[in-house]
Structure 1
Amino acid sequence: MIRNVFSFIICIIVVVLFFSLFTIEEGHKGIILRFGKVLRDMDNNPLIYNPGLHIKIPFIETIKILDSRIQTMDNQADRFVTMEKKDLIIDSYIKWRISDLSRYYLATGGGDISQAEVLIKRKFSDRLRSELGRLNVQGIVTDSRNRLMTDVRASLNNGTSGEEALTSFSKNIKNFNSEKYDISGQKRYRISDSVNPNSMAALGIEIVDVRIKQINLPTEVSDAIYQRMRAERDAVARRHRSQGREEAEKLRATADYEVTRTLAEAKRQSLIVRGEADAETAKLYATTFNEDPSFYSLIRTLRAYENSFKKNNNDLMVLSTETDFLRFMQSPQILPSINN
């Protein structure tokens, strides 16, 4: 009988220890719920359990373990309007983590991470839309991009916008009045209870980083831009072609001019040479004629005979016997006199 009682007591102790002990893995934090309410200390701060082995009151207290690591949330590409009233399709992502487990638990309906991402996305979209409305496209794409991300992160964490976020953050540092362990296990200072209800701190969330992955133009705008770029390139191509044709015509005209000038110069030179040759020939003929006119007359007449009485020449000539053209045929005796 005593043995049975002892065994029963041991079983009860084992069951109590089983429901009393709990462990929290690395990278997680835990809070104790007593009758559905977050258990707090004397300073009304929620009791936060770090990774390790812990104990709780069984059947009265329950443990809620939350992931305290940095989470990454990818946002779907959304349309935003710039200061120039131009639409942009922006794809971005957010890195966040839990800064206040009690607020996070209450704001997300029991620590539901999907509910937390819905709240973050809603606030992020509003803040990013507000910040982009103050910048032009060039500023978003180039110089002001890093400043834009810093302003959006600060405005989300502090519930203000633009320059006010950085000012509010510097003011809140003066209100750090108590210390606790942050989600990484190191000591950090906590902002006073006067938390901006529009900030992520009111949800127990801290935005670690905000980044834009890609910036695109809407399809209809990009198509119009591509068409305009194509038209501009076509206009440039047509201008280059027309300039090329103009240069070709100039070169062709220059070449034709050079050809004509060269041919004319060559013809002029040939005429000059031919004239000089004819003059020299006439000079020789004249010299020869002056030296022996009878011999010159004989030679010229014989050549005329040769050209007139060719073998294949069927022309009929009717000449008077008294004509001077046939004198050498009529008076052969003249030949000795020519030789004399």
Structure 2
Amino acid sequence: MNRASIILPALIVAIVLGLSSVFIVDEREKALVLQFGQVKAVKEDPGLGFKIPLIQEVVRYDGRILGLPTQPLEVTPLDDRRLVVDAFARWQIVNLIEFRESVGAEGVRAAQVRLERIINAAIREVLGSVPSSAVLSEDRTGLMNRIRDLARREAAALGIDVIDVRLTRTDLPEQNLAATYARMRAEREREAADEIARGGEAAARVRATADRTVVELTSDARRQADVVRGEADAKRNAIYAAAYGKNPEFFAFTRSLQAYETSLKGTNSSIVLEPNSVFFEYLNGFDTPAVSSATPLDSAAEGQTAP
């Protein structure tokens, strides 16, 4: 057997052993070097790593931020209204040794199962301490931060950091939706009835105020009209008195003409008087009649009859 046949296999074995002792960790990964199940080295930075061939092995874990959607969970808030809640958590492995000791060889899958239990427990604890109105409101940031902090403390023992927890759905159970909608409808109808009653009351007040205002304005207008009419009558009587004082005969003449106009107005009027009546004294001639206290208008008022 020559030396070449011995050196060549040995060289190949050496190369294989040398290559198997080197491993590469990229920037998305973290790695543990295990020897018979015990952690011998931790490789978190990207680059080359070394291990003992055939004795040590390399276990790789995802070093990125991972997501975990939880299954729908039924919780009971402080006012005993049941809600169906599910969440989405973001988490990352921060301590490889604790993570390996906690979850064993199953790795990320086992960690997600345990982390979901931790998050569900935190959701029940936090949402069970507040009324359902706070859970169903749009501003739930405080509640989600409390759930995250509580889950982070519990998950620290697993070598995991819970970065964020978000409530993605908060609904009523299907069996409660119909009753809830009926109750909401009844409340809205009651509020509508109250609004209608208040509107009717306000309308009645407005109508009463308007009616009172109409009566007051009408009464004031009538009073002012009576005052104006009385002042006009007084001025008219004063004018008549002044005219009578200046020329009594002319005043009697104009009053007679007014009496003629008033008596003879219309197409079917008749007047029955004696020929020598005072009413005709200005029609019988242009002689100046004696001044009398009675005018034709006053006589007409006494002698006019309907046809």
Q: What band does the TM-score fall into relative to the shorter chain?
A: 0.5 to 0.7
SS class of match (1:95): strand
TM-score (normalizing by structure 2): 0.66
User: What is the CA-CA distance between 1:124 and the residue it aligns to?
Assistant: 2.7
Whether contact under 8 Å (1:80, 1:87) holds in the other structure is yes
Residue of 43, 47, 52 corresponding to 2:40: 47
1:245 aligned partner, one-letter code: A
Rounded Cα–Cα distance in structure 1 between residues aligned with 2:185 and 2:261: 86
SS class of match (1:23): strand
Whether contact under 8 Å (2:30, 2:63) holds in the other structure is yes
CA pair 135-325 structure 1, distance change in 2 beyond 3 A? closer
1:154 aligned partner, one-letter code: R
Q: Unpaired segments of 5 or more residues in structure 1?
A: 41-45, 158-200
SS class of match (2:61): strand
TM-score (normalizing by structure 1): 0.61
Rounded Cα–Cα distance in structure 2 between residues aligned with 1:18 and 1:307: 142
Match runs of 1:69-80 below 5 Å: 69-76=64-71, 78-80=73-75
Residue of 124, 131, 134 corresponding to 1:129: 124
Rounded Cα–Cα distance in structure 2 between residues aligned with 1:105 and 1:66: 14
Match runs of 1:124-273 below 5 Å: 124-136=119-131, 141=140, 146-157=145-156, 201=157, 204-213=158-167, 216-218=170-172, 220=177, 223=181, 227=185, 230-231=188-189, 234=192, 237-238=195-196, 241-242=199-200, 244-246=202-204, 248-273=206-231
Whether contact under 8 Å (2:99, 2:160) holds in the other structure is no
User: What is the CA-CA distance between 1:120 and the residue it aligns to?
Assistant: 1.6
Alignment correspondent of 1:160: none
Residue of 23, 27, 30 corresponding to 1:28: 30
Task: Give the number of equivalent residue pairs.
Answer: 277
SS class of match (1:115): helix
2:50 aligned partner, one-letter code: H
Q: Unpaired segments of 5 or more residues in structure 2?
A: 292-307
Whether contact under 8 Å (1:73, 1:93) holds in the other structure is yes
2:100 aligned partner, one-letter code: Y
Rounded Cα–Cα distance in structure 2 between residues aligned with 1:305 and 1:124: 113
Alignment correspondent of 2:100: 104
Whether contact under 8 Å (1:22, 1:54) holds in the other structure is yes
Alignment correspondent of 1:56: 52
Q: Mean Cα displacement is larger for which, 247-256 or 298-307?
A: 298-307
Whether contact under 8 Å (1:33, 1:64) holds in the other structure is no
CA pair 232-115 structure 1, distance change in 2 beyond 3 A? farther
SS class of match (1:335): coil
Rounded Cα–Cα distance in structure 1 between residues aligned with 2:127 and 2:288: 127
2:80 aligned partner, one-letter code: K
1:213-255 per-residue CA deviation (whole Å, 9 max, x = no partner) reads 4573427388578657755764675366446524532552354
Whether contact under 8 Å (2:92, 2:162) holds in the other structure is yes
Q: Cα RMSD (Å) of the superposition?
A: 4.3
User: What is the CA-CA distance between 1:277 and the residue it aligns to?
Assistant: 3.1
CA pair 295-222 structure 1, distance change in 2 beyond 3 A? closer
User: What is the CA-CA distance between 1:151 and the residue it aligns to?
Assistant: 3.3
1:177-216 per-residue CA deviation (whole Å, 9 max, x = no partner) reads xxxxxxxxxxxxxxxxxxxxxxxx3xx4434445344573
User: What is the CA-CA distance between 1:320 and the residue it aligns to?
Assistant: 4.2
Rounded Cα–Cα distance in structure 1 between residues aligned with 2:101 and 2:262: 133
Rounded Cα–Cα distance in structure 2 between residues aligned with 1:111 and 1:308: 128
Rounded Cα–Cα distance in structure 2 between residues aligned with 1:126 and 1:218: 19
* Higher RCO, Cα 8 Å, sep 6+: 1
CA pair 132-69 structure 1, distance change in 2 beyond 3 A? same
Rounded Cα–Cα distance in structure 1 between residues aligned with 2:115 and 2:198: 55
Residue of 81, 84, 90 corresponding to 1:86: 81
1:273 aligned partner, one-letter code: E
Alignment correspondent of 2:20: 19
Alignment correspondent of 1:9: 10
Rounded Cα–Cα distance in structure 1 between residues aligned with 2:35 and 2:268: 144
1:66 aligned partner, one-letter code: Y
